[in-house]
Amino acid sequence: MAQRKPIRRLLKKPIKLEDKLKNTDKLSGHIQELEKESVEFSIDELHSQVANAFGNSADLKFIEGKRNERNIIVVFLESMVDATNLKETTSKFFSSISPKLQPLNNVDELSSYCKEVFGGASFKIVNTRDETINEIINGSIVIFVERIDKALAINMMNGEKRSVSEPTSQTVIRGPKDSFIESISTNVSLIRRRIRNKNLHFEQYTIGEDTQTSVYLGFIKGIANEAIVQEVRNRLEKIKVSAIFESGNIEELIADKTFTLFPLALNTERPDSVAANLIEGKMVILIDGTPFALIVPAVFVNFFESPEDYYQSFFLGSFLRMIRYLSFMIALLTPSLYVGVLTYHHELLPTTLLLSVIAQREGIPFPAVVEVLVMELTFEILREAGVRMPRVVGQMVSIVGALVIGQAAAEAGIISNIMIIIVSITAIANFVSPIYSFATASRLLRFLLILFAAILGLYGVLIVLVAMVAHLSSLRSFGVPYLAPIAPFIIEDQKDVFVRFPFWTMKKRPKYLRAESGKKVFTSSPPSPPPMKGGNTS
């Protein structure tokens, strides 16, 4: 580790009393002598060293002034600080008529002055060059005062940020409409407004040697399993990279080292979803500069849950959740089943349906596997084009393109009409998944299933499914089995897996997350009111 350089190297080295005072009896005389001496730092040297540290950046600014006949220099990055606060602060320091004007002879007096003048403003005393540079990068102004070998850093980060708006990737009909933004402090406040608990803790990490990105680990002490929390801490501390820009970078670096298509962390931009998972005993990882938070550990069933399941009646919530499981299987298996049945297993189809399919495929020059792959790849291209194109025309191009290309291909005899139906159903079912990163797993596995169906028929589909289940059983998310509470089967946790039971029946948190306290999540439902007698409502 590089040796930390003190700030006094930026200034002229101050005189040390112990070097001059050999006799304690002459202490008072030497103090009077030192008070008369003028110890001034070199402005040119300070300019040169700080400017060289930032490569003479265009937004690095210096403000020079005097106070009580002492030179003062303010250093800051113009692009990172708030101009209004900067003007007010410098005017207070340089003003000679301020009612709070007082001598600044040492660090204690400087700190006391800041407490009186700036009140609750965030400031700190820094005494090394590395600390000074870090404070400037993080949006602070650093003030150098003559004869003081330490500097004052006042946080004045530019307050410009995107306002809180509705979620774009995880929308709901009923429920909160706010979402995270790119400011980590705002995201923390959105969580604390929902969980007003003193045990909600956030631990800060700085990750990325070049980006110095702020990362917060949040959990509720006493609810979260301490062993899992410590595992998350260890993985965050071991990250050694040059840059972090999005939660996906952190997700890839802290996930269990397993080659898998399935996400091992849940990402969301909804504060209510994060709050609910924290109450369950999970942890949240917030990254400055992105509106997506990571929830860990994540298990397979979490990717079929939506916040809206808990805002509707439990009958509707259960029905919608079963629809999501069915849609996942449709998106994963439909094209491969079509290829396997038409290529090897005609006898599985009813005679009338088989004759209809054969009639539609009459004259098609390609085998079923080529027909499916061409249509699936075409749809993936259209979907990607719709995402990347300007928002005004993107949706129109993707829809019109699919209709025009599909209709034209069917009329030209390249593909059959039933193939268009299958690809459309598959695509629509893929969009049902509430978590986009999980839907990509079924998109990729679908191509593998199609290839095995073309080679081995439905036996190939079965082989891939067995391998997939075995792979899911072997996965761990921060030590938690990925298929919990299905495998291992935990009967008391089945109230919120395939169906959602009423709130008053879910009295405890998931067993695979439970801390030693085992506190209840929800209380029992209130008893029914007693029957009224004689129609008296008083």
Query: What is the residue-level pLDDT of the chain in tens, covering all 538 positions?
Result: 444 444 444 444 444 444 444 444 444 444 344 333 333 445 566 767 788 888 878 888 888 877 667 778 888 888 888 877 787 777 766 664 444 455 566 777 777 777 666 655 567 888 777 788 888 888 888 888 777 777 888 888 876 778 888 888 888 888 899 999 998 989 999 999 999 999 999 999 999 988 889 999 999 999 999 999 999 999 999 999 999 999 999 999 998 877 899 999 999 999 999 999 999 999 999 999 999 999 999 999 999 999 889 998 999 999 999 999 999 999 999 999 999 999 898 888 888 988 888 888 887 888 889 989 988 888 888 888 777 777 666 566 666 666 677 777 777 778 888 888 898 899 889 989 888 889 888 889 999 999 999 999 999 999 999 999 999 999 999 989 999 999 889 888 888 899 998 888 888 888 888 765 445 444 444 455 555 554 444 3
Look at residues 81, 113, 52, 66 and name the one whose alpha carbon lies nearest to residue 125. 113
Is residue 294 within 8 Å of 251, Cβ to Cβ? yes
The amino acid present at 244, given as its one-letter code, is I
Exposure letters 334-351 (e unless 16+ CB within 10 A, then b): bbbbbbbbbbbeeeeeee
Is residue 179 within 8 Å of 168, Cβ to Cβ? yes
Looking from the CA of 36 toward its CB, the CA atoms found within 13 Å total 4
| Whole-number Å distance between alpha carbons of 133 and 127 | 11
Is residue 109 within 8 Å of 131, Cβ to Cβ? no
Look at residues 479, 481, 483, 501 and name the one whose alpha carbon lies nearest to residue 492. 501
Alpha-carbon dihedral sign for residues 502, 503, 506, 509: positive
| Whole-number Å distance between alpha carbons of 524 and 415 | 58
| Whole-number Å distance between alpha carbons of 468 and 465 | 5
Tell me the residue length of the chain: 538
Predicted confidence at residue 38, as pLDDT, reads 35
Tokens of 284: 């949240």
The number of helix segments (H) and strand segments (E) in the chain equals 17, 12
The pTM for the full model equals 0.79
238 three-class SS: coil
Which residues face 193 on adjacent strands?
Answer: none
The set of residues, in sequence order, having a beta carbon less than 8 Å from that of 60 and lying 6+ positions away, is 50, 51, 54, 75, 76, 77, 78
